Structure 1
Amino acid sequence: MSNCWRSRRGTVFSCGFEPGLFSCFGVLLLTTHVLYGEANTNTSVVVQKDAQFDITYLDTVTSENQTIYAFNHTVSKNKTEGVRVSVELLSERPNGPVLFVVRQKQAVLSFQVPLILRGLYQRKYQYTQVGRTLCQPPTLALSEMQFFYVDVSTLSTSGVHYQLRVSRVESFTLQTDKKFTFNATPSQPQFFKYVFPDGEDTVIVKVNSQKNFPCSVMSIQDIQCPVYDLDNNVAFIGMYQTMTKTGAITVQRKDFPSNSFYVVVVVKTEDEACGGPLKFYSLLPDELLDAGNRSKTLDVVVSPAINSNVYIMGVLFCLGIFLSFYILTFLVACIENKRCAHGCCGLSPASPYEYGSFGELLGCVCVCVGGGGYIKVMALFYLYNKRISFALSLSERPLDVVGRCRQESLSSVEEDDYDTLADIDSDKNIVRTKKYLCVSDLARKDKRVLNKKYQIYFWNIATIAVFYALPVIQLVITYQTVVNVTGNQDICYYNFLCAHPLGALSSFNNILSNLGYVMLGLLFLLIVLQRDILHNRALMRNDTPALECGIPKHFGLFYAMGTALMMEGLLSACYHVCPNYTNFQFDTSFMYMIAGLCMLKLYQKRHPDINASAYSAYACLAAVIFFSVLGVVFGKGNTAFWVVFSVIHIVATMLLSTQLYYVGRWRLDSGILRRILYVIYTDCIRQCSGPMYIDRMVLLVMGNIVNWSLAAYGLIKRPNDFASYLLAIAICNLLLYFAFYIIMKLRSGERVLFLALVCILFTAVVWGFALFFFFQGLSTWQKTPAESREHNRDCILLSFFDDHDIWHFLSSIAMFGSFLVLLTMDDDLDTIQREKIYVF
């Protein structure tokens, strides 16, 4: 039996009459007539119907009638039952929308059909089929009967046909490790409930689909009403991320006081957010667009995450790997020191590589490369003076190149053989323009002055590190806070299938794996410190080999390299707090530093007097980082930027080539053009003569070919990842110079000692494996966050580390090995006089 209802338009009617209510009805009708005039034009008939689940109701609604469907169901405290309301508008062109209001005990849900959803540029898409899952309010009773009502109304004067169906949701409560498949559209979102089982504090929610588009959003929301499950409000609460084929969010129990949460999946109205095309429509005022078929089949599965024992194993594994290098270094030092204590080691008198039987000139020579490679040479007595030493070495050395070097060495030429000039021994223009240079020619400056010069490299990079790292740390903490507060998982490009949170950090494993850079950088500093201390002790004892033999020992650049490696670990960890397009420069800045310092160290080995100062070197590296920032901000698809950068790249390459070829004996002034034309006329036109410094010319020609090719590639391809492109330029130049150095070293009759050879081979192998894992590409900020997640993969080591973490492990070891190569590669020259060491 129907009851009296008050219409939303202010009139009252009854579907049936009872004797006791007749007079009441007459009074109310008279009052309504007085207040509103024509009652028959404003009345709305309200009809309430008892309805049942899983029955389709076909009905018509107009402005003059309103229908209420009454449903009831049993709600249990220990069981959640999902209820879904599905509506379809059958009229093709209704005069107005139909409003559906679902009234529950503690919640109200309303929506109109056709449903209007907005896209980019305020485009409006209409949907005539709408499906919504009701938010179930909690109950304190073990079991109770609850009612809810679906009100249907419209302001359309003509009848609007619709279809209504209320049904229970299958598998509304998700089970651990059980996959559930469902369909969703922009107007028919889906959400499910998950309750944490006992003993599980962290789970991973994975949503997958077989097709990329339409673009969709997955969200994790607390158990509260209303549930935000439309494209225009899904970002209001909880954690959310866009997805194409794959989405994954790690959920912790501590973030949800009710020990349960909703998994919400929404299909977006447009695909632009996922990197898809944006369709062209003619924009007319208030035009409603048909979005077409945007149905998407997805499956969801909730899996347990790792427990605290796996975290402990990951930390211990990481520490164990790098502490083993400390132990290995200590053992090598002990073995070498013990070997040296038992007697002489190193070059034998019968060795084909003796640089003039230097072993015979020193009654007993002990060469110890232990404990950081310390070379201790003890001369018991000299049999001959330097002139006899030179004569013997000149007759026995096989290579004529080094022979010519000796002949032109100022320290080994008889004074009677030439007319003496007052400045012949000091004028650097005369010394450095010789055709064949030896190390002694470029190691004339006071050692104390040079040591102070190169120590500035260390102090400067330490200062740079402090001023660079502090704002970086502050910024990434802000990034992480924004992610945690807003829940927007699209800000950071993690490998979400292997991102293990700890505290406020979303991906602790990616940060922990950078520990190797810091620990191995510190170990390298300790090794360099030991070498530095032992070398200074030798100088204090006035040991002749330390004063006159081998490559001049300057450790300032080595200290700077070790510090840069430690800072690379710190800044890489900061970058991985929230990796994205804007802070990738944090990860690459000190990579530029390391590449630049390694090239400077290679050049300093045989050019100690003319190597760049710390101020000019860091100024150039600052310019590189400046262009890196410009490339990130303006370089994407900007032709003008790439033209300017390519021109600067080529000009800088030519200027550096000139500096290296003339060993610094040229100047950039107003007369440079005239001098260039003169050289071209005399050496190329008037008479065709070859280059004076052939070895240098070969290196510089190869270097120019490589750099011009890289500049052309950048100008043509214009890669989006400008920072990596700039890093590739630095690495290519470093590898080219290193290969040239090794080749020239062997060509000059020098050799590589066993320890240095082991370091070279070991480092090459580790670099190969490291690059393999680097190019796995688990995420990329060159694409949209949704597209990046397509590259996500599960952990592959200890269920804790992914491919990129292994890249961190191996690359830190490879960088440490590369530094050891630079430190030990010229140890074979520690018993060779500097006027007999060739410069290249």
Structure 2
Amino acid sequence: WQSQPRKVALGEPSVRTAVARPARPAPHLPLFPQPEGVRVSVNVLSDQNDRPVLFVVRQKEAVVSFQVPLILRGLYQRKYAYQEVSRTLCQPQTKAEVETQHFYVDVSTLSLNTSYQLRVTRVENFVLHVATVAATGPFFPQYFKYEFPEEVDSVIVKVTSAMAFPCSVISIQDILCPVYDLDNNVAFIGMYQTMTKKAAITVQKKDFPSHSFYVVVVVKTEDEACGGVPQSATPTEGLSWLCTAEAYVRSVLFCLGIFLSFYILTLLIAGWLRGSADGLGLAAGERSLENVAGRPRLDSLSSVEEDDYDTLADIDYDKNVIRTKQYLCVADLARKDKRVLRKKYQIYFWNIATIAVFYALPVIQLVITYQTVVNVTGNQDICYYNFLCAHPLGNLSAFNNILSNLGYVLLGLLFLLIILQREINYNRALLRNDAHALECGIPKHFGLFYAMGTALMMEGLLSACYHVCPNYTNFQFDTSFMYMIAGLCMLKLYQKRHPDINASAYSAYACLALVIFFSVVGVVFGKGNTAFWIVFSVIHIVATLLLSTQLYYMGRWKLDSGILRRILHVLYTDCVRQCSGPMYVDRMVLLVMGNIINWSLAAYGLIVRPNDFASYLLAIGICNLLLYFAFYIIMKLRSGERIKLIPLLCIISTSVVWGFALFFFFQGLSTWQKTPAESREHNRDCILLDFFDDHDIWHFLSSIAMFGSFLVLLTLDDDLDCVQRDKIYVF
């Protein structure tokens, strides 16, 4: 066993080739001022892997040791040996501005005759502003130092590469010795991310007592950790200052200003409409000269049940007769007591409020745990942020993504206030026995509207929770109430013309729960699973057929053992025997188009098997909603009805806003379907106020578009408020 120490002045450049036997120390060369980086590079020229050479670098406050060949392990315990190793020496804090520091290199080996080359060089631009890093492998880790200026509280460390960089780890560590700069220990302390082309880490001054930190770049032994086998390249490191406290305040005020302006605009429009005697509520009813001396109190709903009615035997017969008429009027499907229907639809609101509480509490607890794990471990591969535009606040890593969801909550609350005012006006009209309220227009039921407003607020809350730590396991938080909103909007459209036969809250929410169940199963098990896609496609097609039958016959059919026999009988008598057309042509056209679209979506899912199953499922719901809405508009115009100015303006403006919103949605700043390193290749800088990114703008615009869509549903049939219900067609 042979060993020799070498004494080297810290910072002096030298190159020495030697044989492993005692040698004299290298001569001292002129020093350059602190703080400068010093690298020790070793290349063992003899190929003796069974007798490695051990190098121990001893210096003030730190000891760095490594053997050559350097053995590192990758996935599945695969070993990699490197004959050349280069390490940057730690820079301990010094009291004097210029202080001569020395370090000793001890070389030991069992080999009797091994040649090696020892090189000590200065690291250019060790104090980081912008640096070009030529990291060629795990044996060549590098790190640089950054010192916070007095006026800067936080910075973003950006690492970019024009080409795909070898799978690497970018780590932020405090100025302490030793520095963890190997593939097998770089994740021990500090914050870190994997990268191929891009990485960005937000660093706050308060987290580093010395107001400085190291930026460590380590190439991993294998590229599988980043999802591929990229080519070599030269990355560039840089820093950009984050927003100041004033910028945070400005961004918050910007959000509040945008959405509170809708409150002001609503008040102005409501005042103008009230002054012009055409208000959002039942203005026509409020203007009635039909003064009734007595003002009867609205009956209590506590003892009213749907089973209290329809108890006579001829009621079912009456339903069959009415619902098989070729041309139905709203009066034919609004025969139940208004108290029964009011209670039935209020359950929608109370049920969704209960669901919201029980759903949101564990979600909030879970994302707080996620954020805590990220902060404690420093592993920034857990969450898929847009790191190039992530502004932290307190323990939150991306406050801007959370703040931009404020619109859903504020506009959802505004919609609830609008519905409340409408209901108050309607109840006042009922109290004075207003004829328009009692006999005219689409029957007013507000429970579904309250449920829609609540769902919009919950979408904002759960989207904010998702963006606390967006990743593969919690994406359903962001989409669950989107399914709710799509389902409730379709139910509201159907309820307008079919108040007596619309689905109950229990069955509707049970179906939505089934949709969310499939969403979770699809996210977890759907990727590349042929059996899952076959089962889902079959269920999708069968559910479409059953719903089509329910809509076509308006609930006057039974799902029992004789259903197949009755279907064959109808096909024989109507199609084969006499070739008669469908009795309800309009409904048949809608349902045929709906089945074509849904079968096409099922075929697309079965063939393509998209990775993002949750978005695919949401697309199915949105396509069906848009189809039904278009059918409703067309049939409304065909029936001789008109669209008033306010709903027309809402339709046009909402369509425009939806177009811009979808543009920003499809920008794709991150994606949890890929590895964290591949996801960061999509990261982009802020585009609004240097604080908000493309996805934040999607939040702004989509919340406004959803609010506008709700207003369309609310005001679409205001032209019928003075039309008798037996003159309003059902479609």
Q: TM-score, normalised by structure 1?
A: 0.82
Alignment of 1:46-57 (within 5 A): 46=4, 53-57=12-16
SS of 1:96's equivalent? coil
Q: Does 1:110 align with 2:19?
A: no
- Rounded to whole Å, the distance in 2 between the matches of 1:378 and 1:142 is 86
What is the aligned partner in structure 2 of residue 221 from structure 1?
173
Alignment CA distance shift 1:446-1:300 (3 Å) = same
Is contact 2:227-2:678 (8 Å) kept?
A: yes
| 1:784 CA drift (Å) | 1.1
Alignment CA distance shift 1:720-1:45 (3 Å) = closer
- Rounded to whole Å, the distance in 1 between the matches of 2:549 and 2:522 is 27
What is the aligned partner in structure 2 of residue 90 from structure 1?
45
Is contact 2:540-2:602 (8 Å) kept?
A: yes
For the aligned residue pairs, the C-alpha RMSD in angstroms reads 2.1
Is contact 1:267-1:296 (8 Å) kept?
A: no
- Rounded to whole Å, the distance in 2 between the matches of 1:453 and 1:254 is 55
The answer for unaligned runs of 5 or more in structure 1 is 1-8, 10-43, 279-293, 341-367, 383-420
- Rounded to whole Å, the distance in 2 between the matches of 1:736 and 1:50 is 78
- Rounded to whole Å, the distance in 1 between the matches of 2:444 and 2:460 is 27
| 1:376 CA drift (Å) | 2.8
SS of 2:276's equivalent? helix
What is the aligned partner in structure 1 of residue 118 from structure 2?
164
| 1:182 CA drift (Å) | 3.7
- Rounded to whole Å, the distance in 2 between the matches of 1:192 and 1:691 is 77
What is the aligned partner in structure 1 of residue 435 from structure 2?
544
What is the aligned partner in structure 2 of residue 376 from structure 1?
285
What is the aligned partner in structure 2 of residue 757 from structure 1?
648
| 1:156 CA drift (Å) | 2.0
Q: 1:173 aligns with which of 127, 135, 159?
A: 127
Alignment of 1:315-330 (within 5 A): 315-330=252-267
Query: Cα deviation per residue 1:576-597 (whole Å; 9 max; x = unaligned)?
Result: 0011111110000000000000
- Rounded to whole Å, the distance in 1 between the matches of 2:246 and 2:398 is 17
- Rounded to whole Å, the distance in 2 between the matches of 1:777 and 1:93 is 50
Is contact 1:70-1:149 (8 Å) kept?
A: no
Is contact 2:164-2:232 (8 Å) kept?
A: no
Q: Does 1:151 align with 2:106?
A: yes
| 1:59 CA drift (Å) | 1.2
| 1:47 CA drift (Å) | 6.6
The answer for unaligned runs of 5 or more in structure 2 is 292-311
| 1:80 CA drift (Å) | 1.3
Q: Does 1:244 align with 2:196?
A: yes
What is the aligned partner in structure 2 of residue 257 from structure 1?
209
| 1:81 CA drift (Å) | 1.8
Name whichever of 269-278 and 605-614 sits farther off.
Answer: 269-278
SS of 1:376's equivalent? helix
What is the aligned partner in structure 2 of residue 276 from structure 1?
228
- Rounded to whole Å, the distance in 2 between the matches of 1:516 and 1:71 is 69
- Of the two structures, which has the highest relative contact order with CA contacts closer than 8 Å and spacing of 6 or more? 2
- Rounded to whole Å, the distance in 2 between the matches of 1:716 and 1:47 is 67
What is the aligned partner in structure 1 of residue 294 from structure 2?
none
SS of 1:658's equivalent? helix
Q: 2:163 aligns with which of 186, 192, 211?
A: 211
Alignment of 1:9-24 (within 5 A): none
Q: Does 1:741 align with 2:632?
A: yes
| 1:369 CA drift (Å) | 2.6
Is contact 1:96-1:156 (8 Å) kept?
A: yes
Q: 1:185 aligns with which of 137, 154, 158?
A: 137
AA partner of residue 191 (structure 1): Y
Name whichever of 145-154 and 294-303 sits farther off.
Answer: 294-303
AA partner of residue 171 (structure 1): N
Q: 1:487 aligns with which of 372, 378, 402?
A: 378
- Rounded to whole Å, the distance in 2 between the matches of 1:192 and 1:720 is 39
| 1:429 CA drift (Å) | 1.1
Name whichever of 801-810 and 144-153 sits farther off.
Answer: 144-153
| Identical-residue share of aligned pairs (%) | 76
What is the aligned partner in structure 1 of residue 309 from structure 2?
none
AA partner of residue 223 (structure 2): D
Query: Cα deviation per residue 1:735-761 (whole Å; 9 max; x = unaligned)?
Result: 000000000000000000011101111
Structure with greater Cα Rg: 1
- Rounded to whole Å, the distance in 2 between the matches of 1:474 and 1:709 is 40
| 1:185 CA drift (Å) | 2.0
What is the aligned partner in structure 1 of residue 299 from structure 2?
none
Is contact 1:462-1:563 (8 Å) kept?
A: yes
| 1:226 CA drift (Å) | 0.8
- Rounded to whole Å, the distance in 2 between the matches of 1:770 and 1:67 is 71
- Rounded to whole Å, the distance in 2 between the matches of 1:447 and 1:74 is 96
Name whichever of 561-570 and 268-277 sits farther off.
Answer: 268-277
What is the aligned partner in structure 2 of residue 403 from structure 1?
none
Query: Cα deviation per residue 1:327-368 (whole Å; 9 max; x = unaligned)?
Result: 00000111111122xxxxxxxxxxxxxxxxxxxxxxxxxxx2
AA partner of residue 727 (structure 1): L
Alignment CA distance shift 1:59-1:326 (3 Å) = same
- Rounded to whole Å, the distance in 2 between the matches of 1:748 and 1:482 is 60
AA partner of residue 201 (structure 2): I
- Rounded to whole Å, the distance in 1 between the matches of 2:8 and 2:690 is 55
Q: Does 1:199 align with 2:199?
A: no
| 1:90 CA drift (Å) | 1.2
- Rounded to whole Å, the distance in 2 between the matches of 1:489 and 1:701 is 49
Alignment CA distance shift 1:47-1:478 (3 Å) = closer
Q: Does 1:766 align with 2:657?
A: yes
Query: Cα deviation per residue 1:496-555 (whole Å; 9 max; x = unaligned)?
Result: 111000000000010000000000000000000000011011111111110000000000
Alignment CA distance shift 1:652-1:538 (3 Å) = same
SS of 2:187's equivalent? helix
| 1:671 CA drift (Å) | 0.9
- Rounded to whole Å, the distance in 2 between the matches of 1:800 and 1:424 is 63
